[in-house]
Amino acid sequence: GQQLNQSPQSMFIQEGEDVSMNCTSSSIFNTWLWYKQEPGEGPVLLIALYKAGELTSNGRLTAQFGITRKDSFLNISASIPSDVGIYFCAGQNSNSGYALNFGKGTSLLVTP
């Protein structure tokens, strides 16, 4: 698969702080997505981005599709304890038959 580099690997923050994580690739993607996984569950889609430069929000979450189509970032504002989980970026293009390529995840811990 096409490799996605996700950073940071983990974050340990206090409630109320803002969070920023990003994902880069050497390949161009047509779609960037962000998923969240909580312990013992499957990943859940947070945000999907379909156009270079697109900036999309979902509540306190904001994600952007990089202009070069090789990167994306996710911001979480005013974090709360229920934001705890692993956040995965994923990219998709037709080169791999539309199979999703996932990053290795950013583990987020939030202390009250």
Which residues here bind another protein, judged by CB under 8 A?
Answer: 1, 30-31, 33, 40-45, 48, 50, 88, 90, 92, 94, 97-100, 102-105
Amino acid at 79: S
Which CB sits closer to another protein, 65 or 73? Answer: 65
Which CB sits closer to another protein, 4 or 110? Answer: 4
Cα–Cα distance for residue pair 1/8, rounded to 1 Å: 21
What is the nearest approach in angstroms of another protein to the Cβ of residue 78? 26
Which CB sits closer to another protein, 85 or 103? Answer: 103
What is the nearest approach in angstroms of another protein to the Cβ of residue 34? 10
Q: Quick one: tokens of 100?
A: 């999703």
DSSP β-bridge partners for residue 76: 19, 61
What is the nearest approach in angstroms of another protein to the Cβ of residue 101? 8
Q: Quick one: tokens of 106?
A: 């950013």
The answer to whether 66 and 96 are in contact (CB under 8 A) is: no
User: Residues with Cβ < 8 Å from 98, sequence gap 6 or more?
Assistant: 92
Which CB sits closer to another protein, 13 or 48? Answer: 48
